[in-house]
Chains A and B, each alone.
Chain A
Amino acid sequence: MKKLLMISTHILILINLFGCGQSNVNVLNEGASVLALNELPENPLLLHPLSSSINPNNNTMATLYGNDLAMDHVHANNDYDYPAGTILYEVIWKQKPDSLWFGGNIPGEVLSVEQIVFNDKIKPTYKLYKGNGLQVKQRAKDTLERVKLIISQRLAVSP
Chain B
Amino acid sequence: MAYKFALCLTLPHNTTKMKKKTIILLILAAIVGLAQFIRPDNIKKYENGVKTEDLAGVPKEVNEILRNSCFNCHSSSSELAWYDKITPVSFLVASHIQEGTEVLNFKDWMSMSIAKQKAVLYYSINKIRSGEMPLSSYILAHPAAKINKNQMQVLEAYLLSISARGKTDSVKLKALERDHKWVKPALNGIAYMPDYRNWKAISTTDRFDNGTMRIIFANEVAVAAIKAKNINPWPDGSVLAKAAWTQEIALDGSVSTGQFVQVEYMIKDSKKYAKTEGWGWARWKGDDLRPYGKTINFTTECISCHRPVRENDNVFTIPLNLK
Q: Which residues of B are found within 8 Å of A29, using beta-carbon distances? A: 203, 318-321
Q: How many residues of A contact B (CB 8 A)?
A: 51
Contacts A23-B312, A79-B167, A156-B243 known; A104 to B208 CB distance under 8 Å?
yes
Q: Are A75 and B174 in contact (CB under 8 A)?
A: yes
Tell me which of B204, B210, B257 has the highest count of chain A C-beta atoms within 10 A of its own C-beta: B204
Q: Are A52 and B204 in contact (CB under 8 A)?
A: yes
The answer to the question of B94 belonging to the interface, with a C-beta cut-off of 8 Å to chain A, is no
Q: Which residues of B are found within 8 Å of A45, using beta-carbon distances? A: 200-201, 320, 322
Contacts A25-B232, A27-B318, A51-B256 known; A103 to B311 CB distance under 8 Å?
no
**CB of A96 to closest CB in B, whole Å:** 10
The answer to the question of B213 belonging to the interface, with a C-beta cut-off of 8 Å to chain A, is yes
The answer to the question of B260 belonging to the interface, with a C-beta cut-off of 8 Å to chain A, is yes
Once bound together, how far apart are the Cα atoms of A148 and B239, in whole Å?
35
Q: Which residues of A are found within 8 Å of B309, using beta-carbon distances? A: 100
The answer to the question of A150 belonging to the interface, with a C-beta cut-off of 8 Å to chain B, is no
Q: Are A56 and B255 in contact (CB under 8 A)?
A: yes
Contacts A33-B323, A75-B174, A154-B256 known; A159 to B288 CB distance under 8 Å?
yes
Contacts A23-B232, A100-B308 known; A33 to B320 CB distance under 8 Å?
yes
Q: Determine chain B's interface SS by DSSP, over half rule.
A: mixed
Interface residues of A in 104-159 (CB under 8 A from B): 104-107, 153-154, 156-159
Contacts A76-B175, A159-B289 known; A52 to B312 CB distance under 8 Å?
no
The answer to the question of A19 belonging to the interface, with a C-beta cut-off of 8 Å to chain B, is yes
Q: Which residues of A are found within 8 Å of B167, using beta-carbon distances? A: 77-79
The answer to the question of B197 belonging to the interface, with a C-beta cut-off of 8 Å to chain A, is yes
Of all chain A residues, the one with the shortest Cβ separation from B306 is A100
Q: Which residues of A are found within 8 Å of B217, using beta-carbon distances? A: 49
Q: Which residues of B are found within 8 Å of A51, using beta-carbon distances? A: 256-257
* Option from B208, B243, B254 in Cβ contact (under 8 Å) with A55: B254
Q: Which residues of B are found within 8 Å of A76, using beta-carbon distances? A: 171, 175
Of all chain A residues, the one with the shortest Cβ separation from B166 is A78
Contacts A23-B311, A53-B256, A77-B171 known; A106 to B318 CB distance under 8 Å?
yes
Q: Which residues of A are found within 8 Å of B203, using beta-carbon distances? A: 29, 32, 106-107
Assuming A45-B322, A104-B207, A156-B257, what are 4 further A-B pairs, CB within 8 angstroms? A26-B231, A51-B257, A95-B206, A98-B205
* Nearest 8 A/B pairs, CB to CB: A103-B209, A49-B201, A33-B321, A78-B167, A156-B257, A54-B255, A105-B206, A26-B229
B binding-site residues for A, Cβ under 8 Å: 113, 167-168, 170-171, 174-175, 177-178, 197-198, 200-201, 203-210, 213, 215, 217, 226, 229-232, 243, 245, 247, 252-257, 260, 263, 286-289, 308-309, 311-312, 316, 318-323
Listed A/B pairs (10) with beta-carbon separation below 8 Å: A28-B319, A29-B319, A49-B217, A52-B245, A55-B255, A75-B175, A98-B316, A156-B243, A157-B260, A159-B113
